[in-house]
Amino acid sequence: MSRRELPRGNDGRGGRPPGKLPSARDVAARVIERVLKDSAFASAALDAELARAVELGSRDRALATELVYGSLRTRAALEARIARLAKKLDPKDYVLKSQLLLAGYQLLLLDRVPAHAVVDHAVEAIKRARGPRVAGFVNAVLRRLSSEGKLDAGDAALASLPAWLKTELDAALPEVEVRALVAPSTADGAGPLGIRVRVGVDDGDLPSWLREAPRGKWSSLARRPGSVGDPRRLQGYGDGVFVVQEEGAQVIALAVGAKPGMRVLDACAGRGQKTTLLADQLIADPSSELVACDLHGSKLKALKQELKRLKLPDIETHAVDFSLGTGDLMGGFDRVLVDAPCTGTGTLRRRPEIALRLTAEDPARMAELQASILRHAATLLGAEGRLVYAVCSVLPEECEGVIERVADLLEPVPFEAPDLPWLDAGCCSLRMLPGEHGTDGYFLACLRKRA
């Protein structure tokens, strides 16, 4: 069937008919469409769609989550199978692409959904969006697809990586870690929920679901409660008892070694998860000073709201582009955290859509940006100050390569992190990996200015 034989329906979308409650597949299809068409982040798009689908039960929410992340994680492998059966698809028909991907994932990688139900749902959705002719075409494609052999989830995820990225990962990591990096670590594919209990909160003061949750291995504050739904709806969230934060990210903040009475700068604070941990560590001494900066003022506003939720004192914030300079900040900080923007390759298991938007030029481009940020942030260190550099990337160019770029200005120095007693004495840098540590992939290093 040629492209001109694929007419578009009136609404242009494969949504549900008026008056019908959304299904898990409806939600998943809309999220996938937004990721493909608008380069939306899957997690944010999924949160938005689930918020709209208030009638959806917990099991269907989990299914929608699995369908989104599974389809995106194995996208290229699915597209290769589909392309053999549908050779002339319009690459910009995102409604059709999202429905075929979603159905393909269920047919080729899931066992619990009957094939006829998968095909019928996709056909009905396309009939509403594109009319009966295209629906008939989809019906034929999916029925042929359903008769083909299943895909292996791990192999399909690896095959869906861009060739350049697969080459880089193979050069940087053992095969077992590459597989762990792209494989889903939970049944719904979204990755484990990381919870940080507040510094100084006794177990007896925690809600039962959190008190009984398994403890993390690398952060004494970490809990791993498993699948508990939207954490914002859980007991204790409104009271500021806990923070949603992946365990590896907690390790980064703890590696700073902030102590009461210090002046501490979080140079790339984002929405402030690490900032609030630093605030908890400093709060015992009123003379402590914590400053948070980010390029985006909107993120700093979100940080302020998080401080209020946690009932922490307000802190000084500045919108600063550290790739260009330091704004009007005064130096002399005892600790500086640079959790730099990066390719995010260490989070592929939770954010598979990252692989869809990265290019082969991005690691070098990001490394140049990271080195520039480091150079400017380092000028704010005090005489005995230490800087912790961190990225959620596993690509050497953004990790050790950046440290080499700034070696004329900064030198490695051992972490001073009493809250990480498992760190080897004299350790100056650390890699955390999903296979070895059960966290996202991170690189962090402790540095000081050369004399």
Which residue numbers are catalytic? 392
- CA dist 310 to 94, 199, 351, Å? 41, 11, 27
131: left (phi over 0), alpha (psi -120 to 50) or beta: left
The token duo for 20 is 């019908």
Q: Kindly report the number of other CB atoms within 10 A of residue 447's CB atom.
A: 25
**Max CA separation in the chain (angstroms):** 74
How far is 384 from 146, CA to CA, in rounded Å? 65
How far is 173 from 394, CA to CA, in rounded Å? 8
Question: End-to-end distance of the chain based on CA atoms, in angstroms?
Answer: 70
User: Is the separation of the CB atoms in 240 and 270 below 8 Å?
Assistant: no
Is residue 435 exposed (0-12), middle (13-18) or buried (19+ Cβ within 10 Å)?
Answer: middle
Helix/strand/coil for 430 = strand
H or E stretch including 242?
Answer: strand 242-244
- CA dist 390 to 12, 163, 169, 338, 341, Å? 43, 26, 19, 6, 9
The token duo for 361 is 């030029």
Calculate helix-pair angle for 94-109, 132-146, nearest 10 degrees. Answer: 20
Q: How many CA atoms lie within 13 A of 225 on its CB side?
A: 23
How far is 90 from 4, CA to CA, in rounded Å? 9
How far is 268 from 256, CA to CA, in rounded Å? 14
Residues 6+ apart with CB under 8 A from 291: 263, 264, 265, 266, 315, 316, 317, 318, 329, 333
Q: How many CA atoms lie within 13 A of 395 on its CB side?
A: 23
H or E stretch including 197?
Answer: strand 195-197
